């Protein structure tokens, strides 16, 4: 769903449905980024959702900025100031605090998924793949490729990889039929909306950010979703927001402030 949308956006912004005339290296880098960041990372992450549950998976995924910072240092010799490293750590602590505190009451009521070693390793693999996708994208953006063009290539490669994976499993047609069933029209609409705000708008903004600030900072900020969701859970879903979640939010905001207190 996201690919046709981003192609229309590319037509409006750049003037063509698909980026043309780029160097072969750019196509290769962004294709690898799409396969690693969209296909491989999501396969690991969604399996982790099944094995250990979404909340625990989100906690493990907060390691992605650390992987990104390390990779960026090795590949691009991109360093962070001491205060920015502290900011990343404080932000990650705040996010973990929110996720753990927010799920505490649920864990009291439900047995939930057991936090087994296999699930944690799968989530770590997803976190590492996410970081790898970010680093590959940054390398391509440094060649002057437009972020929207980069996203078209990444989504195309990610989709092709997922189709191949589904075809090898022999479930492609069956999975597609399940999605388009009449009983799932509402779900289909929600997925379409998610495609607009996630792989299209979200990733484009993420790529723009990568062209401006270090990869470790971008990865840290992209992990703040649990913080952003707190008002939605409190005022729309009418859930109780724990004191721990509030304190974790304050810590995360403090960490974000430290990230931008001094520009590298």
Report the C-alpha gap between 97 and 146 in whole angstroms: 36
pLDDT tens, residue by residue, 26-58: 999 999 999 999 999 999 999 998 888 777 788
Q: Given this model, what pLDDT does residue 104 score?
A: 59
> In a structure prediction context, what are the per-residue pLDDT tens digits for the chain, which is 264 residues long?
899 999 999 999 999 999 999 999 999 999 999 999 999 999 999 999 888 877 778 878 888 888 888 898 889 888 788 888 898 899 889 888 877 776 655 555 554 545 568 888 999 999 999 999 999 999 999 889 999 999 999 999 999 999 999 889 887 788 778 877 877 778 888 888 989 999 899 999 999 999 888 888 888 888 887 777 778 777 887 877 778 878 888 888 888 778 766 654
- The domain spans of the chain are 2-9+22-261
pLDDT tens, residue by residue, 182-200: 777 788 888 889 899 998 9
Report the C-alpha gap between 38 and 154 in whole angstroms: 8
**Token pair 């590949």 in the structure block, residue:** 75
Helix, strand, coil percentages (3-state) for the chain, rounded to 5, are: 80, 0, 20
CB-based contact 148:9 (threshold 8 Å): yes
Report the C-alpha gap between 40 and 177 in whole angstroms: 23
Q: Output Rg (C-alpha) for the chain, integer angstroms.
A: 19
Torsion of CA 64, 67, 68, 73, to 10 degrees: 160
Q: Given this model, what pLDDT does residue 221 score?
A: 85
Q: Given this model, what pLDDT does residue 264 score?
A: 47
């Amino acid at each position: 769903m996201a690919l046709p949308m981003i192609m229309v956006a590319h037509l409006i912004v750049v003037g063509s449905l698909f980026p043309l005339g780029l160097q072969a290296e750019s196509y290769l880098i962004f294709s690898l980024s799409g396969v690693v960041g969209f296909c491989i990372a999501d396969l690991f992450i969604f399996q982790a959702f099944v094995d250990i549950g979404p909340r625990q998976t989100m906690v493990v995924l907060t390691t992605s900025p650390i992987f990104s910072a390390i990779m960026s240092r090795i590949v691009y010799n991109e360093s962070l100031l001491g205060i920015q490293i502290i900011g990343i750590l404080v932000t990650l602590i705040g996010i973990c605090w929110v996720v753990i505190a927010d799920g505490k009451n649920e864990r009291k009521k439900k047995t939930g998924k057991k936090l087994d070693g296999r699930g944690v390793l799968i989530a770590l693999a997803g976190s590492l793949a996410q970081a790898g996708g970010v680093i590959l994208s940054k390398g391509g953006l440094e060649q002057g490729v437009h972020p929207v063009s980069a996203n078209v290539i990444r989504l195309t490669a990610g989709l092709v990889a997922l189709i191949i994976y589904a075809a090898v499993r022999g479930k492609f047609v069956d999975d597609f039929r399940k999605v388009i069933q009449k009983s799932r029209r509402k779900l289909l609409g929600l997925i379409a909306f998610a495609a607009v705000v996630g792989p299209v708008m979200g990733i484009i903004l993420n790529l723009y950010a990568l062209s401006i600030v270090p990869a470790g900072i971008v990865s840290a900020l992209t992990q703040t979703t649990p913080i952003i969701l707190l008002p939605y859970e409190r005022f729309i879903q009418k859930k109780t927001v724990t004191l721990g979640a509030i304190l974790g939010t304050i810590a995360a905001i403090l960490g974000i402030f430290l990230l931008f207190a001094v520009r590298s």
